[in-house]
């Protein structure tokens, strides 16, 4: 019988080495649980970077997928399909925007937002052709395309991939004054993550969203929120900026919009921005396809029906409170919002990786981000008893000798 090592050897031989996964080979999943090829059970505390907020194989989303697969799966946008309209209608209603533009992956949606903002700048704001500037933050993560890595501050994401796309300005995160100073007449947008997920679960100060909203309004600059990871309940509200009642001009969503089943992403905006797109300006063969639309619709319904934002808020607060009670010699800080939680390990002692490996042996799958931080982001359907089960193991790992 093929064992874990055999699968890993095979993938090492035939896959590009662009990831460094934990040595576990998963073959089934249900809810918050996953099983490896040898039958070991683990709690999924990563949720595919928040793409599995609804839990693995949510029955309602699986049913939508299977039902739609029996009808039609792909038409391309050369023709209409009967699922995209209802899906986008629902998405716009839920998020509160006039229009949506569907894509597949998060990076594609970020690219779409950049194109929308630039074209809006030229057509509506009157910026001179090819002069548009977009302000972004240090330590950002918005995806892996050539343009997006052009404004990354992570050397590894960029090394060997130049030349880079110009037109971006980098300021510190959580610094409204730096934003105001960086704005010029050519600035068309400020692109920001409400909580920096890949950057190590960095939560900005209270009032940050309000301040950046006021500044961007004052200078007629679009506020683009990349809620690909924070959206759909992860941080305890439907969208992270809802916490301060802030509505960005362009909302970028992905990950959980596909319910962990299918890649579905989109940008949302009101008509004065979205009407810069004319037929032929932008597109995607798979974006808005009937299968994606059916899955997206069901994914949204599950988030609302099962009150996942409220669950994340309540259980996230409980989880963080309990984590802070652990008297660990290794932990520098516990931080987060909702069920997006980071435990930072003291640099002088160790990196986060050995703790993740130890957790794996105890049946918890979590992944380090940015060397020092263990990210805990379970599916939002997790129960309190399941969090307690996890806490027991986490306590052990954070207090025992490494």
Ligand X SMILES: *Cc1c(COP(=O)(O)O)cnc(C)c1O
Q: Which residues bind ligand X (CB under 6 A)?
A: 49, 105-107, 110, 141-143, 193, 197-198, 226, 228-229, 254
Return the ∠ at Cα 144 (arms to 9 and 291), rounded to 5°: 85
Q: Which residue is nearest to ligand X (CB)?
A: 106
Q: Toward ligand X, which CB reaches closer, 54 or 229?
A: 229
State yes or no: is 36 an active-site residue.
no
Give the nearest distance from C-beta 272 to ligand X in angstroms. 25
Nearest to 95 by CA among 267, 311, 302: 267
Give the nearest distance from C-beta 251 to ligand X in angstroms. 12
Q: Quick one: how far is CA 390 from the chain centroid?
A: 23
Give the nearest distance from C-beta 141 to ligand X in angstroms. 5
State yes or no: is 239 an active-site residue.
no
Q: Toward ligand X, which CB reaches closer, 121 or 143?
A: 143
Q: Toward ligand X, which CB reaches closer, 228 or 266?
A: 228
Return the ∠ at Cα 131 (arms to 129 and 136), rounded to 5°: 135
Tell which phi-psi region holds residue 65, choosing left (phi > 0), alpha (psi between -120 and 50) or beta.
Answer: alpha
Give the nearest distance from C-beta 140 to ligand X in angstroms. 8
State yes or no: is 158 an active-site residue.
no
User: Distance (Å, rounded) from C-alpha 88 to C-alpha 291?
Assistant: 13
Q: Toward ligand X, which CB reaches closer, 36 or 227?
A: 227
Q: Toward ligand X, which CB reaches closer, 201 or 397?
A: 201
Nearest to 266 by CA among 246, 288, 298: 288
Q: Which of 36, 44, 175, 226 is catalytic?
A: 226
Q: Which of 141, 190, 277, 286 is catalytic?
A: 141
Whether residue 98 contacts residue 89, with contact meaning beta carbons closer than 8 Å, is answered with: no
Taking each helix axis from N to C end, the angle separating 384-399 and 353-361, rounded to the nearest 10 degrees, works out to 120
Q: In sequence order, which residues have a C-beta less than 8 Å from that of residue 350 and are 6 or more positions away?
A: 330, 402
What are the residue numbers of the active site? 141, 226, 255
């Amino acid at each position: 019988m093929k064992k874990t090592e055999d699968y890993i050897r095979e993938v090492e031989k035939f896959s590009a080495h662009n990831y460094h996964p934990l040595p576990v080979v998963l073959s089934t999943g249900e809810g918050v649980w996953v099983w490896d090829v040898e039958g070991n059970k683990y709690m999924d505390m990563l949720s595919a970077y928040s793409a599995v907020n609804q839990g693995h194989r949510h029955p309602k989303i699986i049913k939508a997928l299977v039902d739609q697969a029996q009808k039609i799966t792909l038409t391309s946008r050369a023709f209409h399909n009967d699922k995209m309209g209802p899906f986008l209608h629902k998405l716009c209603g839920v998020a509160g925007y006039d229009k949506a533009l569907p894509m597949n992956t998060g990076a594609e949606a970020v690219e779409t937002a950049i194109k929308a903002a630039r074209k809006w700048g030229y057509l509506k704001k009157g910026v001179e052709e090819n002069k548009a500037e977009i302000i972004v933050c240090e330590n950002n993560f918005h995806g892996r395309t050539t343009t997006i890595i052009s404004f990354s501050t992570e050397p590894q994401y960029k090394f060997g991939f130049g030349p880079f796309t110009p037109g971006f300005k980098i300021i510190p995160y959580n610094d409204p004054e730096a934003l105001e100073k960086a704005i010029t007449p050519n600035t068309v947008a400020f692109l920001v993550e409400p909580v920096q997920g890949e950057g190590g679960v960095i939560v900005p100060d209270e009032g940050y969203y309000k301040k950046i909203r006021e500044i961007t309004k004052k200078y007629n600059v679009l506020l683009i929120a990349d809620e690909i990871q924070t959206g759909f309940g992860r941080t305890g509200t439907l969208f992270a900026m809802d916490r301060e009642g802030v509505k960005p001009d362009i909302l970028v969503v992905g990950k959980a919009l596909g319910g962990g089943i299918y890649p579905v992403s989109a940008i949302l905006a009101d008509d004065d921005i979205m009407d810069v797109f004319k037929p032929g300006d932008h597109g995607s063969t798979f974006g808005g396809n009937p299968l994606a639309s059916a899955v997206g619709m069901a994914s949204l319904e599950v988030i609302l029906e099962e009150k996942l934002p409220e669950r994340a808020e309540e259980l996230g607060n409980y989880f963080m409170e309990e984590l802070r009670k652990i008297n660990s010699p290794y932990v520098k800080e516990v931080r987060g919002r909702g069920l997006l939680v980071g435990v930072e390990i003291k640099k002088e002692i160790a990196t986060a990786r050995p703790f993740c490996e130890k957790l794996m042996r105890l049946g918890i799958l979590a992944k380090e981000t940015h060397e020092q931080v263990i990210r805990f982001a379970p599916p939002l359907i997790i129960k309190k008893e399941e969090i307690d089960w996890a806490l027991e193991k986490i306590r052990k790992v954070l207090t025992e000798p490494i």
